[in-house]
Chains A and B, each alone.
Chain A
Amino acid sequence: MLDKNGIAKRIAREVKDGMYVNLGIGIPTLVANYIPQGINVELQSENGILGMGPFPFEGEEDADLINAGKQTVTLLPGAVIFDSAMSFGMIRAQKVDLTILGAMEVSENGDIANWKIPGKMVKGMGGAMDLVASAKNIIVAMQQVNKAGQSKLLPKCDLPLTGIHCIKKVVTELGVYDILPQGGFKLLERAPGVSVEQIKAATAGKLIIEGDIPEMVI
């Protein structure tokens, strides 16, 4: 079974040289730590950065320079700053190659819910609805099973939706899945030490298993 860093590490392998990548808050942010040497990507932050760098050294924080999670960050050489309208313009126009974001629920037809638990958590969707509606390549990083032991890979999302028919790949603590155009989670890889039986038990939506499922290499 993978921990959060393991999920991030596995997703980092999907990042290709030269991509423009938007990383959501939570596990997706960790992906930046595991991008292999020699792979150069430009990180987009939807508050208006391309070419976002690591956190600043202590004492060098700049209140005017933050990422979409409101954390102080730095800029890499070649970075550019733009306004929020242009930021979502490049997202809508599909110039951003890869979007990695977290989810509370994903359904077998590619719907995603990640912004609201009615009556309980109402923080807002931020840029998530814009990202999922437009991105051509979205990977969801999430825990497959919640604290109560219930699967979050579902036939249909229970929570209010963020977007419909938009998710094509999911990486969880248990495995890697493609969501097929006709519906269903196709199991591609098992996390280290996880059996197909465990995955079956943790998947409420339609699970498709063809042949031997390899254990993932991290």
Chain B
Amino acid sequence: MINKVVKNADEAIKDIQDNMTLLLGGFGLCGIPENCISALVKKGVKGLTCVSNNAGVDDFGLGLLLQTRQVKKMISSYVGENDEFERQMLSGELEVELIPQGTLATRCLAAGYGMPAIFTPAGVGTEVAIGKEVRKFKFNGVEKDYLMEYAFDADFAIVKAWKGDTAGNLIYRSTARNFNPMMAMAGKITIAEVEELVPVGELDPDQIHTPGIYVQRIFKGENYEKRIEQRTVRKK
């Protein structure tokens, strides 16, 4: 069996080159591949196109790659938490493509399912539709317009899971699942960092979210900060 286990994030990302396209899992700061982001900052690759639902905050998550100007283009659905991002975008230093969240998820899904495109009603009649093919379908008894959106074509997907085994099978925890499963399926090469790495056979096959066939490299991540963006509580 091919050995998928690598030592650490540095080894996992060693062949990520300038100007590549990366899919990065996570929603806000929840379920982001913290170790790989740090390793990318350290490696200093530039001109990256990053597909991720959000852009982190100023000093954490993908915000770290923005601070060092390693990102040429961001494809995201919501970027409201990052002032440096907004500054770079408004000044034209950073290219930004904002797309609907469901479109983002489904374009990953399509790639992982081997389908070149999808049709979605999200964005019909808005600036998101500019330059895109519109088709009318009668579906569920209603005729309406749908936009054609292409599957992502990414060099690498970088995801974070809770548990993984040496065959690359992954289990996510709670809402840290978010975009990770479909991004894991969509990379030409998928790197998974996990909190707990176990030998093959220890995970219950019925509980695995991402089959290892989609994962080429896996390692046990370290020192997870798991920063909370909006700590909201109620009194006992």
Contact at A84–B101, with CB atoms within 8 Å?
Answer: yes
Contacting A at CB under 8 A, from B213-232, are 226-232
Contact with A along B38-58 (1 / 0, CB 8 A): 000000000000000100000
* B116 close to chain A: CB less than 8 A: no
- Please judge, given known A-B contacts A65-B174, A83-B182, whether A162 and B126 are in contact too, CB under 8 Å: yes
Which candidate, B8-16, B71-79, B199-207, is the interface stretch facing chain A? B71-79
- Please judge, given known A-B contacts A84-B178, A85-B182, whether A123 and B79 are in contact too, CB under 8 Å: yes
* B115 close to chain A: CB less than 8 A: no
Q: Which of B31, B77, B226 contacts A124 (CB 8 A)?
A: B77
Measured CB to CB, the closest approach of chain B to A188, in angstroms, equals 25
**A interface SS class:** loop
Residues from chain A with a CB closer than 8 A to the CB of B77 are: 124-127
Residues from chain B with a CB closer than 8 A to the CB of A65 are: 174-175
Measured CB to CB, the closest approach of chain B to A88, in angstroms, equals 3
The tally of CB-CB contacts under 8 A between chains A and B is: 183
Q: Which of A64, A81, A83 contacts B226 (CB 8 A)?
A: A64
Residues from chain B with a CB closer than 8 A to the CB of A122 are: 79, 86, 89-90, 96, 98
Contact at A69–B230, with CB atoms within 8 Å?
Answer: yes
Q: Which of A55, A69, A164, A165 contacts B234 (CB 8 A)?
A: A55
Measured CB to CB, the closest approach of chain A to B226, in angstroms, equals 4
Residues from chain A with a CB closer than 8 A to the CB of B128 are: 125, 129
The size bracket of the interface on B is: 35 or more
Contact at A133–B123, with CB atoms within 8 Å?
Answer: yes
- Which of B102, B172, B181, B227 gathers the greatest number of chain A CB atoms within 10 Å? B102
Contact at B109–A85, with CB atoms within 8 Å?
Answer: yes
Contact at A72–B53, with CB atoms within 8 Å?
Answer: no
Q: Which of B86, B109, B209, B229 contacts A66 (CB 8 A)?
A: B229
Residues from chain B with a CB closer than 8 A to the CB of A101 are: none
Q: How far is the CA of A123 from the CA of B233 in the complex (A)?
A: 25
A contact set with B: CB distance below 8 Å? 45-49, 54-73, 81-85, 87-89, 91-92, 94, 111, 119, 122-130, 133-134, 160-165
B contact set with A: CB distance below 8 Å? 27-31, 53, 76-81, 86, 89-90, 96, 98-106, 108-109, 120-128, 140, 162, 172-182, 209, 226-236
9 pairs, A vs B, C-beta closer than 8 Å: A65-B175, A68-B27, A70-B229, A83-B178, A122-B96, A125-B101, A130-B101, A130-B120, A163-B126
Given A66-B30, A84-B102, A133-B122: 9 more A-B contacts, CB < 8 Å: A47-B30, A55-B234, A56-B232, A70-B230, A83-B177, A85-B105, A85-B109, A87-B102, A87-B105
* Pairs of residues from A and B, 7 with the lowest C-beta to C-beta distance, nearest first: A88-B102, A123-B80, A130-B102, A164-B125, A63-B226, A133-B121, A129-B100
